[in-house]
Structure formats: C-alpha cells, structure tokens
C-alpha cells in the first residue's frame, strides 16, 4: 500500500497538470487498481477507497472520480479493453504487490517454487508498484498531447502448454505475435527502436525474448534497447507487466519512434502491442 500510494500520488499530480481544465467540467477519472490476488474482498475494497481518497486530496473533484473493481483473474487484454471502452474517460491504472515477507518465502520453499541455487527456474521474491494514465485525445487538452504515447490494440495468444513445462521455448509464437502487432499498428518491425517486456530471469522466457530480437529485431542492442522489467522486480504480480508498458511509453516518446511492448511472464498467455509517438489523432497513454 505504501508503494501503491506513492504511485497514485505521482499520477494524481500528473493528471491535474495535464488533464484538469482551467475552466469547464473536468473529464471523469476512473481509478482502476490491480491489487494482490491473495487479498480478500474487504482488503481490496479498502485499498480502492484509500487510493480514491489520495487522488481527491490532490484536488480532482470527487463528483468526477470513480473506482472500478477488477476481477482477480482479469487478463491484461480485458483490463486495457475496459480502459478503452469510453473515450471521454481518464483511467488511472495502478498495480502494486509484494512477495518479500518471510511467510511467503517459506510457503514458496515448501512448494518447491522458490528460486535457489539448485532451482534456478523458481520464483524470486519481489515487490513494487507501477501506474499509467490512459485516455484519448478527446478527453485531453490539445497542449497535453506531447506527453502521451499512442497505444495500439493489444494482441494476445495462448499457449497450448505452460511455458514452465515446455521442453523448448515457443519462439515462433512470440515472433508471430510481434509481426501481428506491428501490422495492426501499420509499422515495420525494422522501425522499432526498443522493446520493453516483463520477461524475468527464467531461461524459457529469456530465450523467447532474445529469439524474437535475433529473428525480427536485429537492429536493437541487446544491452540498451531490450528492457526486461521482470528480471529487476522479481515476482510481484501485474507490477512488472505494467512497468514494462510504462517503459515502452517512455521509450517511444524519448526515441520519437515505435516501441514494442511484450508480456510473456504468464505461463499460458502472451501479449504484445506497439506504442508510438502521438500523431494528429491518437489514443494516448
């Protein structure tokens, strides 16, 4: 909650500067928190109310501020689809999670899923928080456009077998997903200047990502242009995925060129999308 609150405060300040008009009615602001899967309904409700209170403290009118419940099993595609459902609404998407408590480490060790010297493919305890503001230019002032990147529709594919148990990485599936995403955005993969993914330390995930870079993104420098958030955050739910999306947004604006976002942390679901600097008509993030 401490980490999540810090992110909410940052985003609330950004929303006020970029999206709250000096005169007239402000756009509706929806708070959409992605909270730890193990939390109870009561805990999730209380956290959502606290985040809403935090945003209101910064000055966003309460009558234009709502909180959205997210299903525990919601996929990234469904969450982003929910964000894009209304072009006149601003969505504050926030993820926070923590798995560094000794109780969690002991549970993982007992279940043989903790990363150790003898089990390099296990989970590494982690914690963190990340967030983004999502809206359309219809809800954003014209002078705020340069602060937003365009997020194209998210492509999704499902594996037939969990990546943890597969004998070899499904590199072709990842490559096909990237090509589909680039085609949907109307860009060539050779124009992509970076890729940000939630890929962590596990060999299967790393081989998928580097196989994609080697086959379809040879222009990228593996050290500076390939960003792997999962390797830095450890296991912390949706945080590493949302962090990768945020890094892709920053890279698109900084490089003024298309950037690829990828997610292969889930054992069955892979996601990918292109982010680019905003053209005259864009869906900013």
Per residue in 74-103, pLDDT tens? 888 888 887 776 778 899 999 999 999 999
pLDDT of residue 189: 96
CATH architecture of 149-276: 3-Layer(aba) Sandwich (3.40)
Average pLDDT over residues 51-64: 93
DSSP 3-state percent helix, strand, coil across the chain (nearest 5) = 40, 20, 40
Alpha carbon distance 162, 158 (integer Å): 9
Which comes out higher in pLDDT, residue 85 or 13?
13
Taking the complete model, does pTM exceed 0.85, yes or no? Answer: yes
Residues of the chain with CATH 3.40.47.10: 149-276
Block residue for tokens 């708070």: 31
Average pLDDT over residues 42-66: 93
Q: Which of 223, 211, 193, 185 is nearest to 270 (CA)?
A: 211
Strand segments, DSSP code E, in 99-147 are 127-134
Percent of the chain with pLDDT over 90: 61
Beta bridge partners of 261: 196, 273
pLDDT of residue 37: 87
pLDDT of residue 12: 95
Query: Are 131 and 234 spatial neighbours (Cβ–Cβ below 8 Å)?
Result: no
Beta bridge partners of 157: 270
Q: How does residue 145 score in pLDDT terms, banded at 50, 70 and 90?
A: low
């Amino acid at each position: 909650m401490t980490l999540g609150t810090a992110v909410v405060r940052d985003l609330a300040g950004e929303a006020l500067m970029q999206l709250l008009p000096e005169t007239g009615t402000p756009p509706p602001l929806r708070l959409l928190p992605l909270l730890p899967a193990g939390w109870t309904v009561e805990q999730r409700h209380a956290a959502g109310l606290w985040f809403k209170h935090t945003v209101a403290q910064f000055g966003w009118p309460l009558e234009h501020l709502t909180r959205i419940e997210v299903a525990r099993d919601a996929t990234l595609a469904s969450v982003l689809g929910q964000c894009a459902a209304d072009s006149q609404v601003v969505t504050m998407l926030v993820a926070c999670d923590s798995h560094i408590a000794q109780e969690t480490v002991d549970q993982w060790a007992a279940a043989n899923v903790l990363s150790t010297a003898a089990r390099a493919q296990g989970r590494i305890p982690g914690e963190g928080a990340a967030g983004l503001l999502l809206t359309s230019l219809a809800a954003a002032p014209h002078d705020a456009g340069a602060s937003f990147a365009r997020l194209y529709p998210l492509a999704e594919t499902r594996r037939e077998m969990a990546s943890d148990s597969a004998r070899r990485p499904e590199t072709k599936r990842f490559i096909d997903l990237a090509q589909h995403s680039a085609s949907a955005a109307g860009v060539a993969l050779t124009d992509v200047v970076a890729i940000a993914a939630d890929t962590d330390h596990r060999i299967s995930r790393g081989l998928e990502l580097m196989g994609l870079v080697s086959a379809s993104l040879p222009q990228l420098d593996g050290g500076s242009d390939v960003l792997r958030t999962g390797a830095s955050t450890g296991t912390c739910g949706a945080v590493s995925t949302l962090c990768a999306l945020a890094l892709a947004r920053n890279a698109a604006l900084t490089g003024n060129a298309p950037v690829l976002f990828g997610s292969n942390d889930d054992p069955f679901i892979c996601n990918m999308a292109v982010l680019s600097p905003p053209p005259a008509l864009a869906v900013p993030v």
